[in-house]
Amino acid sequence: MKIIERALSAIGFERRSADADPYWSNFAALRDGSVTPRSAEGLSAVYACVAAISETIASLPLQLYKRTDNDGRDTAKDHPLYRVLHDQPNEIQTALEFREQMTAAMLLRGNAYARIIRGTDGQVRKLLPLANDRVNVLYLDNGRVGYETTDRAGKVERLVQDDVFHLRHRTDDGIVGVSPITRCKQVLELAIAERDHGVDTFRNGAKLLGILKAPGRLNTEQRRAIAESWKQYKAGGTPVLDDGMDYSTVSMTLEDAEWIASRQFSTEEVCRIFRVPPTVAGDLRHGNYSNSVEMARQFVTLTLKRHLVAWEQAISKQLPTEAGRQAFFAEHSVEGLLRGDSTTRAAFYHSAIDDGWMTVDEVRQLENLPRLKNENA
């Protein structure tokens, strides 16, 4: 034994080979298959993070506003785009379903596409979601982008840039987004391997592998008979050993391998990838009332804000007409998420108005309320 191994053994450490322990061999050779959006979403942490972001964004009020004088705004309820964004983007989906689908696709696949259907006046009348695996992005010589789509019947159609609403995650080339799943594939591979190990273990009755020791040498027929008789015992049963035989385990228990702790760490890793506070994803081990409120606030400011701005800027850039881009803009209302304690917010606004550094209309604008016609403040 080497000096280092002797020292480790003296203080209670033991070096084990992955080849000798089936538990570690599961992780020494991770699954060869690449992580796909579907397999990644099979992890509860990934599903929870994607659901937290996409469902929250989809449920937030999304309004279309028209700019007025003195940096004011009026809700543009009469504009055709208002109904598409706020009520119903197509004949099948509600606005919530459409925005949830698009946001989830962007998080899982890096991109989300929808075909833009315009009326004779150039205004958007419909947004039809396109499946990611049926869209190819084309780089055109004129510096613009085209999209090649394939319908369920196999018909291929090419669309120009103005006919596709494209929502991107962070991109390397400015055109095609890259999902967190692609960037952090190995982290998810490990999490999937950990999950699959637990599934396999419990599916087999959490039965531990071990060695049967006999006092003497067994012939082939005796070994075969013992092996066949041992198969009938499942977890929870009490096997009976022949005289002189001994059973010793060679695999680690779930507690020895700290499988649960590994799973918990993988959950934190996934939350870190999607920038979602663990309490929002359902991991309440370190949550309490005070820090959960703060984490919920951070979820809005550090997680959702990027995606909300991406939605708003994509809408302003791609959906209005050329003239409409100067007059109209879309904006989410996050005040309901940040409001929390309405008493505190009321005191803050009251102090701001009394001290003279905010007006009533400015406060109402923050609350997405129309300006007062006659303001004396």
What pLDDT, on the 0 to 100 scale, is given for residue 10? 46
32-70 tens-digit pLDDT: 457 899 999 999 999 999 999 999 999 999 999 999 887
334/146 Cα distance (integer angstroms): 34
365/356 Cα distance (integer angstroms): 16
Q: Regarding beta strands 111-118 and 124-130, do their DSSP bridges make them parallel or antiparallel, or are they unpaired?
A: antiparallel
Longest dimension (CA), the chain: 103
238/201 Cα distance (integer angstroms): 19
Within 8 A by CB and 6+ apart from 138, the residues are 145, 146, 147, 148, 158
E strands present in 55-177: 62-68, 72-75, 111-118, 124-130, 135-139, 145-150, 156-160, 164-168
Within 8 A by CB and 6+ apart from 141, the residues are none
Q: Regarding beta strands 72-75 and 156-160, do their DSSP bridges make them parallel or antiparallel, or are they unpaired?
A: unpaired
pLDDT per residue as tens, the chain (377 positions): 454 444 434 444 444 443 444 444 444 444 445 789 999 999 999 999 999 999 999 999 999 999 988 778 898 999 999 999 999 999 999 999 999 999 999 999 999 999 999 999 999 999 999 999 999 999 988 889 999 999 888 899 999 999 999 999 999 999 999 999 999 999 999 999 888 877 877 776 555 566 777 777 878 887 787 777 766 665 455 666 676 777 776 555 555 557 778 888 889 999 999 999 988 888 888 777 667 777 888 898 899 999 999 999 999 999 999 889 989 999 998 876 765 556 677 888 889 899 999 999 888 877 767 888 665 54
- Tokens representing 186? 């190995």
* Type of residue at 75: T
Picking from 347, 332, 339, the residue whose alpha carbon sits closest to that of residue 64 is: 332
56/308 Cα distance (integer angstroms): 10
CB atoms within 10 A of CB 55: 15
161/180 Cα distance (integer angstroms): 25
Picking from 110, 89, 92, 112, the residue whose alpha carbon sits closest to that of residue 102 is: 112
In Å, what is the CA distance from 295 to each residue of 20, 47, 229, 377? Answer: 44, 19, 56, 36
Backbone φ and ψ for 75, nearest 5 degrees, come out as: -65, 125
130/89 Cα distance (integer angstroms): 13
What pLDDT, on the 0 to 100 scale, is given for residue 240? 66
313/336 Cα distance (integer angstroms): 21
Q: Which helix (H) or strand (E) holds 247?
A: strand 246-249
Within 8 A by CB and 6+ apart from 20, the residues are 250
* Type of residue at 111: N
In Å, what is the CA distance from 267 to each residue of 27, 50, 262? Answer: 17, 13, 9
Backbone φ and ψ for 125, nearest 5 degrees, come out as: -110, -30
Q: Which helix (H) or strand (E) holds 291?
A: helix 289-298
